[in-house]
Amino acid sequence: MIKKGMKVKILTGKDKSKEGEVMEIDRKNNRAKVKGINIVKKHVKTTKEKKGGIISKENFIHLSNLKNIEISKKIEAKK
């Protein structure tokens, strides 16, 4: 089971074989945000409080595309 704060490896997609830390999990949709992975550009409109422009941020990635590194390291150490 993948939890917030765990180190994971990306198995598929444009960020394949990269590693990162889980920042947020959406259990309802089986998705997680990983720090520095799946970066997307979002166009934000200018408001009174915030300056607009193009912002880069992490997007959710499906849990089936993640592998927990911490568990696999423990298994390899036992062998």
Q: Decide if 38 contacts 13 (C-beta within 8 A).
A: yes
pLDDT of residue 18: 95
Beta bridge partners of 34: 22
Q: What is the CATH code of the structural domain delimited by 7-78?
A: 2.30.30
pLDDT of residue 46: 94
Residue-wise pLDDT tens for the chain (79 aa)?
899 999 999 999 999 999 999 999 999 999 999 999 999 999 999 999 989 999 999 999 999 999 999 775 666 666 6
Q: Decide if 39 contacts 56 (C-beta within 8 A).
A: yes
Which residues touch 26 (CB under 8 Å, ≥6 apart)?
Answer: 32, 60
Least Cα distance to 18 among 1, 43, 4, 35 occurs for 35
d(CA 67, CA 28): 19
Domain segments of the chain as ranges: 7-78
pLDDT of residue 10: 95
